[in-house]
Chains A and B, each alone.
Chain A
Amino acid sequence: MATVKLSFSPAPVHVRTARLVGVAVARRAGVREDLLDEVRLAIGEACTRAVALHRQYGLADPVLVEMSDGGSYAVRVVDRAPIEAGIGLTALPPDELANESLTDEALTTGVGFALLAGFVEDLQVRPVDEGIGTEVRMVWPVGR
């Protein structure tokens, strides 16, 4: 099983790097070409969410992305934000999306979660095993 780990300071400019690496490793692992757009988007959303949480809590700790290809392609995106912030993700119904009172942050969070849930069949959001934080775990099949 090959593993690639990427750790980046929580700045928006690095999210693109994480997407590029994530897709390169997915291709290498044998994820189908037609799934790569979804892999790119999902890794981007998970990292965007982690960066937003670190900035919200003033955390300078790096965001960790771990990609492994043991039988399937699994990506973990780990943040270090307090858990009560991390787990409370909800998708928004359409009539609320354009609601005047909805803040930009709430909208982006809701839409980001809808994209993750919509594009990743095998998705888990759970507390990290050690310390403070949440991990978003996404798995895609490899091969034909």
Chain B
Amino acid sequence: MELSLATRTVGEHTVLEVGGEVDVYTAPRLRERLLELIDGGARHVVVDLGRVDFLDSTGLGVLVGALKRLRSAGGSFALVCDKEPLLKIFRITALDQVFPLHPTVDAAVSADSAGAGA
């Protein structure tokens, strides 16, 4: 399935809904969109992986890149994921210790708002 990207705003958070396959071929499009959002001023970004059915190391690399960029800009970055196969990928790569992972967008937004003291 092709990559799909849709953006919406929840309070001060920008939510990027990703669907389909994120791999070596499609990851550059995800990177471009994240850069557009960050360059456009988004500082609190939540990436919803709820409709992702494949994610590889290239996609994970793009997500880490966005996390680093937002952190250095004083922003925040969180992921929404509740699918066991994807969660296993985060555990195996130890990236579950790098990303804030939440089961729902609401949980990600409220955890991030609380953490930021907003």
Instruction: Please give the residue numbers on chain A whose beta carbons come within 8 Å of chain B beta carbons, in ascending order.
Output: 12-13, 15-16, 19, 37, 40-41, 44-45, 48, 51-52, 92-94, 97-98, 100, 104, 107-109, 111-112, 114-115, 118-119
The answer to whether the Cβ of B58 comes within 8 Å of any Cβ in the partner chain is yes
- CB <8 Å contact, A93 and B61: no
In the bound complex, CA of A92 to CA of B97 (Å): 12
What 4 A-B pairs have minimum CB-CB distances, sorted nearest first?
A118-B92, A112-B57, A94-B94, A108-B61
> Which DSSP category, helix, strand, loop or mixed, fits chain A's interface?
helix
Determine whether the beta carbon of B61 is less than 8 Å from that of A45: no
Return the CB mask of B23-52 against A: 1 if under 8 Å, else 0: 111000000000000000000000000000
CB closest residue in chain B, given A114:
B93
Q: How far is A90 from B93 in the complex, measured between Cα atoms in Å?
A: 12
Most buried by A among B21, B24, B54, B97: B24
Q: Is the CB of A15 within 8 A of B23?
A: yes
Chain B residues 61 to 118 lying within 8 A of chain A, measured CB to CB, are 61, 64-65, 67-68, 71-72, 85, 89, 92-95, 97-98
B56 at interface, CB cutoff 8 A = yes
Quick check: B23 and A112 within 8 Å, CB to CB? no
Q: Known contacts being A37-B85, A94-B98, A98-B67, is A12 close to B25, with CB within 8 Å?
A: yes
Q: Is the CB of A98 within 8 A of B89?
A: no
Partner of A107, one of B23, B64, B97: B64
When chains A and B are docked, how far (Å) is the Cα of A103 from the Cα of B14? Answer: 26
Q: Which residues of A contact B94 (CB under 8 A)?
A: 92-94, 97, 114
**Smallest CB-CB separation from B53: which chain A residue?**
A37
Given the known interface contacts A16-B23, A98-B68, the answer about A115 and B95 at a Cβ–Cβ threshold of 8 Å is no
**7 A-B Cβ contacts within 8 A?**
A48-B24, A92-B94, A97-B94, A97-B95, A98-B98, A104-B61, A107-B61
Residue in B24, B71, B89 whose CB lies within 8 Å of A115: B89
How far, in angstroms, from A52 to B61 measured CA to CA in the complex? Answer: 14
Once bound together, how far apart are the Cα atoms of A107 and B23, in whole Å?
A: 15
Nearest chain B residue, comparing its CB with the CB of A106: B61
- Which B residues are CB-close (under 8 A) to A94? 94-95, 97-98
* A115 in contact with B93 (CB, 8 Å): yes
Extra contacts, 9 of them, besides A44-B23, A111-B61 (Cβ < 8 A), are A12-B23, A12-B24, A41-B89, A45-B57, A107-B61, A112-B56, A115-B92, A115-B93, A119-B92
